[in-house]
A and B are shown apart, each in its own frame.
Chain A
């Protein structure tokens, strides 16, 4: 069982959370103008990163709030949690893949918890 650091409640068991997949996938700005290919990308295609991955989780059995997390998909180590709407915190080592056209080198103002 993994231990997740909920930004609101602190460390809690994995079983209190539900997974939301890749983070930072924005709803298309002009849905009516998308081609079938672009719709397919939005609906069915997600990054499948091996390594550091930015993903969403919801603390369903706690504060019931969504948040973002940087987790390694091989070691399952958690590097950071940060709020919805925030950029992934800049890390000293490797950069997470956010996909869907988001620059991974952009430096946000990380108020997130780094672990």
Chain B
């Protein structure tokens, strides 16, 4: 037997403190959005007596289950503004957080397969350019030049009739993003408390004053909700409703391959989006399952349909194998836009409804939600994304806007 001593454990990125009796603010949910919110609360607003309460482990929800696509080519002005701010933050965050989380601006293509798609796409490119978002329209030949493994022949079921392209878009390594934020939060004095499920709220009239958790009662000045798929359940506990439906969303990876896929390709028509991770696995996402679900798994036919479409578009994938599939629980709204703002409960704020596409929004969600929590009023960027819009009718309908999904 070896007598050699084990090397010392490398330094932990964050501590695991026990919850204190009281905080100035607690953030519910230790996914990307909760972490980014706590980071900006500490950094921009000097609020460091705060805690993140996570029922499971850090980033164990959608944060480390998503396909990591980052882009800002949304149709409407309100969306373009917040997602473009997010992309600008992604561009500076590796340096600011002192952590190389492999943010790679390899471009994202959104394929058009029908004449309707083509019209919508060209319209969106125009809208993007007016909003200062980098966007181009590519014809099939240009598509092929950028991504040679795509099948652009016109005798397939979903022929490629062109694509929109955003060169500054790309991917990042999601678990590293979480760790990067967690380390900085910890350095700034934020308590990251895992295995701490919020089970109820303490209120003084219409004002929230504390939370009940699986690790005891914690009093707090403010509460920020960042619970993604579980947002509506927590809101109900606090005494208000959210227009959210939770659905399973699945993704999968192949075994490792040599680099074959230089960019990110998305198709809303056939619900497939593909990139190749740094290690070499092909990462593919599917569409949501139609039914409401909290099971963190979806139905296999969704994966089957997605693979059929992927193999037709990328014939080279026919010999690849599915290594792993998984699901997350996404919080969808009727207009496919997030809700970031105040709630009917005083001192309680909500950030939810990012649905299938909130990874890219992580930095902007954190920035604007921290502003909302600290000042009690929304930042200019999240003002349109209020809960009230479902009453006023000022919806931000990104559903019909061709660039939905991820």
Contacts and interface: CB of A to CB of B under 8 A. Distances in A.
B292 A1 contact: no
A74 interface: yes
B299 A45 contact: no
B293 A76 contact: yes
B301 A15 contact: yes
A40 B391 contact: yes
Interface in A1-59: 1-2, 13-15, 18-19, 21, 36-37, 39-41, 43-46, 48-50, 53, 55
A48 B301 contact: no
Nearest to B331: A48
Interface residues of B, number: 24
Interface string A49-79: 1100101000000000000000101111000
A1 B300 contact: yes
B392 interface: yes
Q: Is the interface of B mostly helix, strand, loop or mixed?
A: loop
Interface string B372-406: 00000000000000000011110000000000000
Contacts of A71: 291
B289 to A, nearest CB: 9
A71 B299 CA distance: 15
A95 B232 CA distance: 19
A76 B300 CA distance: 14
B392 A1 contact: no
B293 A21 contact: no
Contact of B295 (A19, A37, A73): A73
A53 B243 contact: no
Of the listed residues A39, A48, A76, the one surrounded by the most CB atoms of chain B closer than 10 A to its CB is A48
Contact of A36 (B230, B232, B295, B392): B392
B290 A36 contact: no
A46 to B, nearest CB: 6
B299 A44 contact: no
A46 B232 CA distance: 10
Nearest to B392: A36
5 contacts: A14-B299, A21-B292, A36-B391, A36-B393, A73-B246
Given A15-B301, A74-B293, 7 more contacts: A2-B299, A18-B290, A36-B393, A48-B246, A50-B294, A73-B246, A73-B294
Interface of B: 230, 232-233, 241-246, 290-295, 299-301, 333-334, 390-393
Interface of A: 1-2, 13-15, 18-19, 21, 36-37, 39-41, 43-46, 48-50, 53, 55, 71, 73-76
